[in-house]
Chain A
């Protein structure tokens, strides 16, 4: 009776590779696959596999499974007819699953929150496309779009006017730039030449990623800390082996060469553990904390310790602790 199942059961063993994901993950893919083909009339096996992030073999297995659907009552019939001969998929009959399933609340929200965030990014050129896309997506999502209004991502726009425009100009024309750049940790205004790589918005702020000729490495520059910028008449030449920074784990990436600093904080000084990525945080009772963090430059630790006063104490390295006391004594001497 179930002729199709019999036909492909033989062909199945070849394609019976283990695949990740649950039965419902796969069901979602199958329900998207049919409309994907239908809306495009004809699609290639290879392109489709790439679009769905599966191997061609897995895709063929999916197509076979769809083709094998057979309902037994009232009369046996096969609601889906398709072929993939010659590497091209054609769906000739799809019954009622020829359209994708509606967007869920999480799905609609993930895109709408991101689109609205993008619309706030300073200097983004696609503003008109963004508002049109938001409107169309809201209409298509219907009720599922409502909850997204309860989540918002705010993007700061506090860079000096002109800084962003000059950076974009340098990126577009492949030019080197010169920056006067403020480094708060050392309270220094630095001068440096940078070959721009890309603009990023991370943690609500805009950064330029570029090859810093002074540091001879890839660095991030926060736009609101740029004191002055000029686009140079020199072509940028980012070394071929310069890697974009992996920012998925945050902006700060400690290195094994960094100094390990141990601090003890009072309850009032706990904010340090929120603001800086600590390697370890131990509760000492009464809200007190012991934290350890890595830094390539201990000058900002000295500034942090002065700021904290009695609410934070450098425990190690002892040389840094001694420097902090000297700093405080020198500062107090100015008040006598």
Chain B
């Protein structure tokens, strides 16, 4: 079955590419072997074949050769079909092989392999490289990546349930997605939130359930000059550290804090301890961090930090 279909589709492509002009359905039926005898059955099969070719990215056009023709014809323009000439130096072909390996089993791995196949067919010798100096890769992405990439690609609005940090239940969000960004290994989508009428960033891992399209392709306009990387970076960035904490850190412990300390001196009261100064911005987050060191780190100043750490520790015992 599938063999006959491959033969028929192949003949159809060759026929439409070599004709150099629009062919009517009747002419195609006469030229391409493998279609059923009755015209209705032919039409149905031909319709499906056209869809399949278009899905492969084959530019199947409809039109007429002259304004006098009243029957629609079909053709594949060679110019639109063929990959333009591309030649790569050996070092360029090498990085192409490296790039094709980045996706591994992640979302676009199949597309990368398909692209490599076409480029090899264009005469480029690109091997997937297994032992380069540095091996970069993308992890299998969050489930929402696939539909959001399609939405961004096709410029369609989307709808999904989103559980914001600390929220007890997910909320419905409608978004015109502008771009998808990976930062620290996590995927984010940035765009125009239709309900809040603002630019918003969402973490794909917090999308609960499926992402559905909420509009037709081409209905999203990304404002000129939009830099989605910058939007995500600004959203994720910690506010500037404007305050300074004084911490008592046990000698030989608190390495994670010592790395970020702006000053560190022995505690004049007790040789087993150091006094470290650290910049911070968010009391809540920093108190969590200090609490995680347990009895090895004590917050001395400011008072609100000290209280917050004590609160955390009491919470453990509650």
Contacts and interface: CB of A to CB of B under 8 A. Distances in A.
Interface of A: 2, 22-24, 26-36, 39-40, 51-52, 65-66, 68-74, 79-80, 95-97, 99-111, 113-115, 117-118, 121, 123-126, 128-130, 132-133, 136-137, 139-140, 142, 147, 149-156, 168, 171, 182, 184, 187-189, 198-206, 227, 247-250, 267-268, 270-271, 274, 286-288, 302-311, 324-325, 327-335
Contacts, number: 375
B136 A23 contact: no
B82 A102 contact: yes
A152 B31 contact: no
Contact of B178 (A51, A70, A113, A150): A150
Interface stretch (B64-72, B192-200, B285-293): B285-293
Nearest to A189: B255
14 contacts: A65-B3, A101-B118, A103-B83, A137-B86, A151-B181, A152-B181, A182-B256, A199-B134, A200-B136, A204-B184, A250-B139, A267-B167, A302-B294, A308-B288
Nearest to B181: A152
Contact of B83 (A140, A200, A274, A329): A140
**Chain B interface main SS type:** helix
Contacts of A73: 27, 30-31
Nearest to A287: B168
Nearest to B311: A309
B43 interface: no
A32 B310 CA distance: 67
B56 interface: yes
Contact of B306 (A65, A79, A335): A335
B229 interface: yes
Interface in B288-310: 288-289, 291-296, 298, 306, 309-310
Contacts of B55: 24
A100 B52 contact: no
Contacts of B206: 274
Contacts of A128: 91
A138 B173 CA distance: 34
A328 B140 contact: no
B152 A306 contact: no
Given A128-B91, A182-B256, A203-B139, 16 more contacts: A22-B2, A28-B114, A30-B10, A65-B6, A73-B31, A96-B78, A107-B114, A107-B118, A110-B100, A151-B149, A154-B181, A248-B140, A250-B139, A270-B166, A307-B292, A335-B313
Nearest to A334: B298
B294 A152 contact: no
B315 A105 contact: no
A70 B99 contact: no
B31 A118 contact: no
A151 B137 CA distance: 15
Nearest to A136: B86
B313 A156 contact: no
Interface residues of B, number: 121
Contacts of A132: 89, 92
Contacts of A171: 133
B102 A118 contact: yes
A24 B181 CA distance: 32
A36 B120 contact: yes
A189 B252 CA distance: 9
A204 B184 CA distance: 5
Interface of B: 2-3, 5-7, 9-11, 13-15, 17-18, 27, 30-33, 52, 55-59, 78, 80-89, 91-92, 94-96, 98-100, 102-105, 108-109, 111-112, 114-123, 131, 133-140, 149, 152-153, 163, 165-169, 178-186, 203, 205-206, 222, 228-229, 233, 248, 253-256, 259, 288-289, 291-296, 298, 306, 309-318
Contacts of B18: 71, 79, 95-96
A32 B11 CA distance: 15
Q: Which 7 A-B pairs have the closest CB atoms?
A: A203-B185, A287-B168, A310-B315, A39-B123, A309-B315, A107-B115, A201-B136
Nearest to A313: B316
A118 B135 CA distance: 9
B316 A287 contact: no
Nearest to A311: B315
Contacts of A271: 165
B317 A328 contact: yes
B10 A102 contact: no
A107 B82 contact: no
Contact of B182 (A22, A29, A152): A152
A267 B56 CA distance: 45
A200 B153 contact: no
Contact of B139 (A22, A248, A304): A248
A138 to B, nearest CB: 10
A204 B56 contact: no
